[in-house]
Amino acid sequence: MKLKLFSLFFLLSFFEFAIAEKIYTSDKHSYSIETVVDGLRYPWAVEFISNKKILITERPGRLRIYENGKLLAPIKGLPSIKAERQGGLLDVALDPDFSKNKILFFSYSAGNMFGIGTEVASARLDNNALKDLRVLFRALPKSKGGLHFGSRLLLTRDNSLYITLGDRGEMNRAQDIGDHAGSLIRINKDGSIPESNPFTQDSNAKPEIYTYGNRNMQGIALDPTTNEVWTIEHGPQGGDELNLMKPGINFGWPVITYGVNYGIGTKIGEGTHKNGMSQPVYYWVPSIATSSVLFYSGKKFPNWKGNAFVSSLKFGQLARLEMADNKVIKEERLVNGAVGRIREVKEGPDGFLYILIDDENGKLLRLKPSN
């Protein structure tokens, strides 16, 4: 009898472990997914201070620290944030010298009853509060509505701060270089404008603009092997894009696109090609609702090193892209709806992949290689 009870206990324990450690397979690695933290409200971005200390933004307007297994109270000192539809507290990024100066950067939507828009500020993190806050950039003109704020941030070692913007749901603004909407912004991390920006000598242009003709870029990443900047653009119904950013380029929205109008499927603009307008390196039809991009450089998944990973909201997927000579030579879809809408994919300092789940009860999950 004791032997039978022991065997039953062993079997139950085995099945419990098997359920907890569900194994997912892919072409080059098998992996499991585990929860790091839950109870987040519509999380939008994650940034790693260390293996044990993680910054997480929540779109309704909270910046949180997860440290040593605990989710701390919201950080104090944020500016006034207007969280409307897709807007709110959005991305967060650390200064390259954060270990010394404790400076971080964050994007958010702000304004008043007359209009809102994307803004970017810097501040010094002092325990659980922000000090010395400075607004570095305001997207102008502000406008009504809660769509297409863009808002991903990238800091590079040359002191550049790149800011992705959306067209704010007013597509024709993306073709106007006198309007920040629908563009990639490049400023210095102190808020000044680099002299090498492409439109600094054009009195009709916003000098912060680096590229234009972009619909709603929600991802940006630096390829560590080439030092080139890439973005992910969230298209309409179809037409999500992976783009290699070069100064002064017109990416064509809404004149050219591989997408169509939502619901009715009618044509947008003039087609898919036009002289003087850039083609995407890669695009998705149907749309997967792209939300972030990274180039993996860690050691935990050696067969994925150098691959680009693109997160998907619509299908809850990770698109793994094998790259060669700045072209996509193979795509594989991972996760495939098993965990919900993926807002961001991030590589942790431990070399694991982390994914942020956009939900009222959002989560930060970790992908680990399976033996």
pTM over 0.75: yes
Confidence at 113, pLDDT banded by 50, 70, 90: confident
What is the model's pLDDT at position 6? 43
- Catalytic: 29? no
Structure confidence by residue, pLDDT tens digits, 230-272: 999 999 999 999 999 999 999 999 999 999 999 899 999 999 9
Q: Pick from 99, 77, 79, 105: which is nearest to 189 by CA?
A: 105
Mean of per-residue pLDDT scores for the chain: 94
Q: Tell me the domain boundaries of the chain.
A: 24-369
What is the DSSP pairing of strand 327-334 with strand 342-347? unpaired
Distances (CA, A) of 173 to 167, 212, 216, 265, 274: 6, 10, 12, 22, 18
Measured in whole angstroms, the distance separating CA 214 from the mean position of its chain's CA atoms is 15
pLDDT tens across 131-189, in order?
A: 999 999 999 999 999 999 999 999 999 999 999 999 999 999 999 999 999 999 999 99
Summarize the confidence of residues 11-20 as an average pLDDT.
Answer: 44
Of 344, 346, 341, the C-alpha closest to 358 is 341
From the candidates 148, 180, 234, 273, give the one annotated as an active-site residue. 148
Please report which confidence band the pLDDT of residue 121 belongs to, taking 50, 70 and 90 as the band edges: very high
Q: Which two tokens stand for residue 342?
A: 């993926």
CATH no. of 24-369: 2.120.10.30
Place of tokens 């620290």: 65
